[in-house]
């Protein structure tokens, strides 16, 4: 084989052509064959024909060849592309290694921004986007009227109403519910060493079937178990409790455990994917479930929540129609015909998902926007860093261009660099996010739903890849395009370090920094407004003094044949406990209540002020607390009038305390103390008026409340509240010891400072405030970095100019002032734009604010002050450097 | 021998499936060749017993090229025509070695069976 002559090598001048190759190759074959045949003595035309005949189907072979050639060509091109990419990648690593500090800073910035984004995405995904962890969870609806002042009692239904509703509706596959008034540690596990407090939720027997939760062992409850038939008490354990308390005993089924002294058979263990607390009462732990005995609890009033599973294809609107059809016929209790229609318009279905996390939608969207802003700021910073690097590397690219690198190839190289940076940042960010997410998932004290189900999943990783690529492309492309479009000759000619491009770049960089400042501004204002709201919330007069008080759940046995006897017995026990505990050193006051503020609550029928008539519905139903003497003082609730005493017994005059709101409703403008309320034929003597206590949350205003003495009305349990001059936790052993002495069955319950109840109530707000605050801080830091980068770079660029000015007599102070003024100008433009944007953003978060105007001047002033001082700070270092330039050195340097 | 020769029609000796590739690779071991030269080389080397048809040769060559067992380059033939020359790649060489071994083992085994004069001994077990 000889190499072809030079002129013949250009046959494929316009790129590879597989079809022509095949044709040429086959033609050569035929021609050579013909030559051979002629040499053997054939006539030329006969020889050609013979050659073609021998070949057979030339066209078919040719077609096949073209096909294969095209495929091969495509593959070759792809291989070339990848090998070029690999080359770019290797080159990228080499250049980044050479500039480690640049790489480290960019990766760190990106990691923080991307990490924050992943973490928030996971939270948003879990709480808002992902369906609830139940099969076909879109079919599940929560049935309750919109929240009103009267708490849980208004969003629950009687056992009779439940049965009737379930029987009459047509859109639901099935309806279930659970007992809404369960307090934490409501049961006692005995027979295994010290009595252990247990939280057991009473659920209607079809609860797990309706939700679609399959026990991992055993069975769900049977319908008989809801109606107390069959007689034998049973329970289903949560996975966590089974592991914790029973060491995951695989043979637990059929075993009996002692709950409140009764043997209860374990019939099932739930999967660990089911977390009742995470969905229905955020932050609360649940240990086990027992079937709700509907027959036994028929007389207890509104007790069950309603959860329905719609038939396939049924919509929430259809469910509402159906509910409205059924509701007017429902009785609160058929024994009282006048209660028919009480639930009219009060059976409103909402998707369960909306019930669980709908309230958080706005907060989450705000949070998501905040991290989006962080990503933008980080991206702009990256752009800035890349630009300054690009200027420094202008020569390198000019040389590459001159040597034949196409513009596309150079852009690809720059893109590869930003992809590598953002990829590394994303990887590191993913690590950071995992730490944050794991930490968040274990924040039991934050009352947010589904938080315990947080995890980094495939979607989160997909999101990571998406934002990493987005960041790289958007923020890597700008400098890339600018770089590649530079005038090669200009750069090559110019002996300075990219002096020609410097000016042009400076404009872009200034715009980028202004954007950064404006975004930081929006973040700061949002965070500031949320912080001020949070402080306002903390300042809310709760109606009681949470500090220096603690509570513990008390177990007691007041079983007696009649209500009065039971009240007497209870009175004696309670008085004993309180006397004993009050005698402990450091205890200032002690008292008990069945429900504590900011927790579960309930209402009873409303009493009426004596001698007045109200139309039905005019009097709000008050929330009811059954308390002992001393409770009001122990909680630090202000009281006008007198507290209950132990003398207020079952046979003495009926007495109550009402809160200020109730007093205003019952006797507007009058002193309510010593007035009389009537409840049926009972007269209730109002012996005092107490301040409004926030019953459900810190932020909403309170409604009517009424306190009954535990010696006259039946409490739903007993929480002992102790006010102390010592740290509450130091009292715990003494108090528990005293309780145990009086009642050996007293479980070793948790000693809870009242402050933690308040903290829990404000925890969602604190959570969002802290996150947005952290993002604002991050934004400020990144903006500072951006300002510093730009000013510092421009000082380096202008070294010569500054040198000349100083040689001509400009003082160091003058130079410094000029640089600082330039910094300030950038910052101020950013602040002006940012303020305008902030006003828009503040309107969007207005509904998240508490007692704070979205135009809160203080917040805006703080934001301006913070940004200006940060700008000055980050401008100061370059300014000082500028003022220290040696004129001669600067001039000689070029 | 005369008897045998008469039985085998040289030109129609069908190539056993899969042997064409290894023959092409073997032909190229002496140096780069174009397609026409490969057929004639195989033809001559087999004492004119094997004739590779063009209709199968070129697809086979292209297949080998796409498998990177051979590579192609344009050059000038003996008669100064532009021709596509194929040469062995390193993988091609390795492939040829292993295929040759396989083929030899196969041929030996087939020969053993076909030339057997008595049935195999019964199994010990």
What's the rounded mean pLDDT across residues A435-441? 88
pLDDT of A168 above 60: yes
Contacts of B34 in chain A (CB under 8 A): 25, 28-29
What's the rounded mean pLDDT across residues A18-46? 87
Whether this prediction's pTM lies above 0.90 is answered by no
pLDDT of A6 above 70: no
What's the rounded mean pLDDT across residues A133-152? 81
pLDDT of A464 above 60: yes
Domain boundaries, chain A: 6-97, 137-359, 361-540+761-892, 556-746
Q: What is the pLDDT of residue A861?
A: 92
The neighbouring-strand residues paired with A755 are: none
Mean pLDDT of chain A: 85
Higher-confidence position of A822 and A294: A822
Q: What is the pLDDT of residue B3?
A: 41
Give the chain A residue nearest B66 (alpha carbons): A72
Distance separating the N- and C-terminal Cα atoms of chain B: 42
Q: Does B62 touch chain A (CB under 8 A)?
A: yes
Q: How confident is the model at residue A347 (pLDDT cuts 50, 70, 90)?
A: confident
Q: Does B43 touch chain A (CB under 8 A)?
A: no
Q: A29 and B36 in contact by Cβ < 8 A?
A: yes
pLDDT tens digits along A560-599: 888 788 888 888 999 999 999 999 888 999 999 988 888 7
Q: Does B55 touch chain A (CB under 8 A)?
A: yes
Hey, what long-range contacts does A85-89 have (CB within 8 A, 24 or more apart)? A85/A412, A85/A416, A88/A412, A88/A413, A88/A416, A89/A416, A89/A420
How far is B98 from chain A, CA to nearest CA, in Å? 25
> Burial of B86 by CB count in 10 Å (0-12 exposed, 13-18 middle, 19+ buried)?
buried
Q: How confident is the model at residue A765 (pLDDT cuts 50, 70, 90)?
A: confident
* Nearest-angstrom CA–CA distance, A824 and A240: 57
- Segment holding B43, helix H or strand E: helix B35-45
What's the rounded mean pLDDT across residues A199-215? 91
Q: How confident is the model at residue B5 (pLDDT cuts 50, 70, 90)?
A: very low
Among the listed ranges A427-431, A531-535, A714-718, which one has the minimum average pLDDT value?
A: A714-718
In three-state secondary structure terms, A553 is strand
* Nearest-angstrom CA–CA distance, B100 and A87: 38
What's the rounded mean pLDDT across residues A282-290? 83
* Nearest-angstrom CA–CA distance, A889 and A768: 53
Please report, rounded to a whole number, the percentage of residues in chain A having pLDDT higher than 90: 22
What's the rounded mean pLDDT across residues A185-202? 82
Q: What backbone torsions phi and psi does residue A825 show, to the nearest 5 degrees?
A: -65, -45
Of A28, A57, A60, the CB nearest to B83: A28
Of B36, B58, B85, the CB nearest to A65: B58
Among the listed ranges A44-53, A187-196, A487-496, A823-832, which one has the minimum average pLDDT value?
A: A487-496
Q: What is the pLDDT of residue A215?
A: 92
What's the rounded mean pLDDT across residues B52-66? 86
How far is B83 from chain A, CA to nearest CA, in Å? 6
pLDDT of A201 above 60: yes
pLDDT of B12 above 50: no
- Residue A541's nearest CA partner among A688, A692, A721 is A692
Its CATH class, for the domain covering B11-110, is: mainly alpha
Q: A4 and B74 in contact by Cβ < 8 A?
A: yes
Q: B65 and A72 in contact by Cβ < 8 A?
A: yes
CB A212 within 8 A of CB A136: yes
Contacts of B31 in chain A (CB under 8 A): 1
Q: Does B86 touch chain A (CB under 8 A)?
A: no
Concatenate the DSSP letters of all residues of A122-182 into one string. HHHIIIIISPPSSTTGGGEEEE-PPP-TTGGGGG-B-HHHHHHHHHH-SSEEEEE-BBTTP
CB A196 within 8 A of CB A162: no
Q: A55 and B55 in contact by Cβ < 8 A?
A: yes
Q: Does B58 touch chain A (CB under 8 A)?
A: yes
Query: What angle (nearest 5°) sits at the alpha carbon of residue A251, between those of residues A249 and A254?
Result: 120
Q: What backbone torsions phi and psi does residue A121 show, to the nearest 5 degrees?
A: -60, -45
Distances (CA, A) of A383 to A516, A796, A819: 11, 19, 22
How far is A5 from chain B, CA to nearest CA, in Å? 9
CB atoms within 10 A of CB A665: 19
Q: Does B74 touch chain A (CB under 8 A)?
A: yes
Q: How confident is the model at residue A883 (pLDDT cuts 50, 70, 90)?
A: confident
How far is B11 from chain A, CA to nearest CA, in Å? 12
Higher-confidence position of A432 and B10: A432
pLDDT of A493 above 70: no
- Residue A321's nearest CA partner among A348, A351, A352, A343 is A348
Q: What is the pLDDT of residue A865?
A: 93
How far is A121 from chain B, CA to nearest CA, in Å? 46
Q: Does B81 touch chain A (CB under 8 A)?
A: yes
* Nearest-angstrom CA–CA distance, A23 and A30: 11
pLDDT of A435 above 90: yes
Most confident by average pLDDT, A86-100, A862-876, B37-51, B109-123: A862-876
Domain boundaries, chain B: 11-110
* Nearest-angstrom CA–CA distance, A133 and A178: 18
- Segment holding A309, helix H or strand E: strand A306-310
pLDDT tens digits along A212-234: 999 999 999 988 887 766 667 89
Q: A32 and B62 in contact by Cβ < 8 A?
A: no
Q: What backbone torsions phi and psi does residue A693 show, to the nearest 5 degrees?
A: -110, 130
Mutate to test the interface with B, among A10, A31, A32, A63 (most CBs of B within 10 A): A32
Q: How confident is the model at residue A207 (pLDDT cuts 50, 70, 90)?
A: very high
Concatenate the DSSP letters of all residues of A377-434 into one string. HHHHHHHHHHHHHHHHTHHHHHHHHHTT--HHHHHHHHHHHHHHHHHHHHHHHHHHHH
Mutate to test the interface with A, among B61, B62, B72 (most CBs of A within 10 A): B62
Q: What is the pLDDT of residue B8?
A: 44
pLDDT tens digits along B14-27: 566 678 888 999 99
Q: What is the pLDDT of residue A268?
A: 92
- Residue A799's nearest CA partner among A819, A825, A822 is A819
Hey, what long-range contacts does A6-14 have (CB within 8 A, 24 or more apart)? A8/B82, A11/B74, A11/B82
Higher-confidence position of A267 and A557: A267
CB A215 within 8 A of CB A271: yes
Q: B34 and A21 in contact by Cβ < 8 A?
A: no
Of A4, A24, A64, the CB nearest to B59: A64
What's the rounded mean pLDDT across residues A171-183? 87
Q: B84 and A24 in contact by Cβ < 8 A?
A: yes
Q: Does B35 touch chain A (CB under 8 A)?
A: yes
Q: A26 and B36 in contact by Cβ < 8 A?
A: no
Q: Does B67 touch chain A (CB under 8 A)?
A: no
Of B36, B74, B77, the CB nearest to A33: B36
Q: What is the pLDDT of residue A504?
A: 65
Q: B81 and A31 in contact by Cβ < 8 A?
A: yes
Q: What is the pLDDT of residue A502?
A: 56
Q: Which two tokens stand for residue A28?
A: 């050569």
Q: What is the pLDDT of residue A497?
A: 47
How far is A100 from chain B, CA to nearest CA, in Å? 41
Mean pLDDT of chain B: 82
Contacts of B81 in chain A (CB under 8 A): 28, 31-32
Contacts of B77 in chain A (CB under 8 A): 1, 28, 32
Q: What is the pLDDT of residue B7?
A: 44
How far is B114 from chain A, CA to nearest CA, in Å? 34
Q: A4 and B82 in contact by Cβ < 8 A?
A: yes
């Amino acid at each position: 084989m000889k190499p072809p002559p030079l002129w013949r090598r250009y046959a494929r001048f316009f790129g590879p052509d597989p079809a022509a190759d095949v044709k040429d190759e086959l033609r050569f074959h035929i021609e050579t064959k013909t030559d051979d045949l002629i040499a053997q003595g054939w006539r030329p035309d006969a020889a050609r024909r013979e050659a073609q005949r021998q070949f057979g189907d030339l066209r078919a072979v040719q077609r096949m060849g073209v096909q294969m050639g095209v495929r091969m060509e495509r593959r070759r091109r792809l291989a070339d592309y990848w090998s070029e990419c690999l080359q770019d990648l290797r080159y990228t690593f080499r250049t980044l290694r050479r500039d480690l500090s640049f790489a480290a800073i960019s990766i760190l910035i990106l990691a923080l921004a991307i990490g924050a984004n992943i973490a928030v995405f996971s939270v948003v995904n879990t709480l808002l986007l992902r369906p609830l962890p139940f099969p076909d969870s879109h079919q599940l609806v929560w049935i309750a009227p919109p929240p009103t002042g009267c708490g849980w009692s208004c969003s629950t239904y009687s056992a009779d109403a439940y049965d009737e509703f379930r029987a009459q509706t047509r859109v639901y596959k099935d309806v279930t519910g659970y007992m809404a008034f369960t307090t934490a540690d409501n049961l006692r596990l005995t027979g295994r060493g010290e009595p252990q407090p247990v939280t057991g939720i009473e659920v209607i027997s079809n609860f797990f079937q309706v939700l679609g939760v399959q026990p991992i062992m055993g069975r769900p409850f049977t319908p008989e178990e809801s109606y107390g038939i069959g007689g034998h008490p049973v329970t289903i354990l949560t996975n966590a409790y089974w592991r914790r308390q029973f060491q995951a005993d695989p043979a637990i089924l059929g075993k009996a455990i002692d709950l409140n002294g009764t043997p209860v058979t374990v019939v099932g263990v739930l999967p660990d994917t089911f977390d009742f607390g995470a969905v229905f009462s955020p932050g609360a732990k649940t240990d086990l479930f027992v079937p709700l005995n509907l027959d036994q609890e028929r007389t207890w009033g509104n007790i069950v929540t309603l959860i329905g599973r719609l038939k396939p294809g049924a919509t929430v609107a259809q469910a509402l129609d159906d509910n409205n059809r059924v509701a007017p016929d429902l009785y609160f209790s058929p024994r009282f015909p006048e209660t028919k229609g009480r639930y009219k318009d009060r059976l409103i279905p909402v998707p369960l998902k909306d019930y669980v996390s709908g309230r958080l939608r706005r907060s989450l969207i705000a949070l998501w926007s905040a991290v989006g802003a962080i990503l933008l700021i980080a991206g702009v910073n990256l752009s800035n860093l890349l630009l300054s690097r690009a200027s420094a590397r202008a020569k390198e690219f000019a040389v590459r261009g001159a040597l034949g690198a196409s513009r596309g190839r150079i852009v690809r190289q720059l893109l590869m660099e930003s992809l590598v940076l953002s990829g590394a940042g994303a990887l590191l960010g993913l690590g950071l996010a995992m730490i944050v997410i794991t930490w968040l998932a274990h924040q039991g004290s934050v009352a947010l739903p589904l938080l315990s189900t947080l995890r980094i999943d495939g979607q989160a990783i997909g999101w990571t890849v998406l934002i990493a690529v987005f960041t790289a492309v958007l923020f890597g492309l700008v400098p890339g395009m600018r770089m590649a479009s530079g005038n090669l000759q200009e750069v090559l000619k110019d002996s300075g370090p990219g002096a020609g491009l410097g000016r042009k770049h400076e404009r872009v960089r200034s715009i980028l920094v202004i954007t950064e400042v404006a975004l930081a501004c929006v973040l700061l204002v949002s965070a500031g407004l949320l912080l001020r709201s949070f402080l306002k919330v903390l300042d809310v007069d709760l109606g009681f003094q949470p500090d220096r008080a603690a509570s513990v759940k008390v177990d007691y046995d007041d079983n007696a044949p009649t209500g009065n006897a039971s009240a007497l017995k209870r009175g004696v026990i309670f008085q004993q406990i309180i006397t004993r505990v009050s005698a402990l050193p450091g205890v200032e006051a002690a008292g008990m209540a069945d429900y504590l503020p900011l927790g579960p609550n309930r209402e009873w029928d409303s009493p009426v002020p004596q001698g007045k008539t109200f139309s039905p519905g005019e009097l709000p139903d008050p929330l009811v607390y059954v308390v002992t003497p001393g409770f009001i003082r122990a909680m630090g609730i202000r009281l006008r009038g007198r507290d209950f005493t132990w003398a207020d017994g079952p046979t003495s005059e009926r007495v109550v305390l009402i809160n200020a709101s109730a007093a205003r409703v019952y006797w507007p403008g009058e002193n309510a103390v010593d007035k009389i309320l009537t409840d049926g034929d009972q007269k209730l003597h109002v012996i005092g008026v107490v301040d409004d206590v926030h019953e459900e949350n810190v932020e909403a205003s309170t409604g009517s409340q009424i306190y009954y003495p535990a010696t006259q009305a039946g409490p739903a349990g007993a929480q002992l509240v102790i006010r102390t001059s010592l740290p509450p936790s130091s009292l715990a052993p003494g108090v528990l010891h005293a309780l145990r002495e009086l009642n050996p069955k007293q479980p070793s319950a948790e000693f809870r400072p009242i402050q933690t109840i308040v903290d829990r109530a404000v925890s969602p707000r604190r959570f969002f405030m802290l996150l947005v605050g952290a993002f604002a801080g991050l934004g400020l830091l990144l903006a500072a970095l951006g300002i510093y980068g730009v000013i510092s770079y421009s000082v380096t660029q202008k070294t010569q100019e500054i040198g000349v000015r100083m040689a001509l007599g400009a003082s160091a102070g003058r130079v410094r002032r000029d640089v600082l003024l330039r910094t300030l100008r950038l910052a101020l433009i950013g602040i002006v734009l940012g303020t305008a944007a902030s006003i828009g953003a503040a309107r969007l978060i207005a509904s998240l604010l508490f007692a704070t105007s979205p135009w809160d001047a203080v917040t805006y002033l703080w934001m301006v002050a913070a940004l200006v001082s940060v700008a000055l700070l980050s401008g100061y270092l370059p300014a000082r450097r500028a003022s220290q330039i040696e004129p001669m050195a600067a001039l000689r340097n070029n | 021998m005369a008897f045998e020769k008469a039985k085998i029609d040289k030109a129609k000796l069908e190539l056993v499936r899969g042997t064409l590739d290894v023959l092409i690779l073997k032909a190229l071991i002496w140096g780069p060749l174009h397609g026409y030269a490969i057929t004639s080389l195989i033809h001559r080397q087999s004492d004119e017993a094997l004739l590779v048809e063009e209709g199968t040769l070129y697809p086979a060559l292209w297949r080998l090229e796409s498998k990177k067992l051979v590579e192609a380059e344009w050059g000038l033939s003996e008669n100064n025509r532009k021709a596509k020359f194929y040469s062995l790649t390193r993988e091609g060489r390795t492939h040829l070695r292993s295929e040759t071994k396989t083929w030899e083992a196969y041929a030996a085994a087939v020969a053993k069976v076909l030339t057997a004069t008595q049935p195999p001994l019964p199994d010990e077990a």
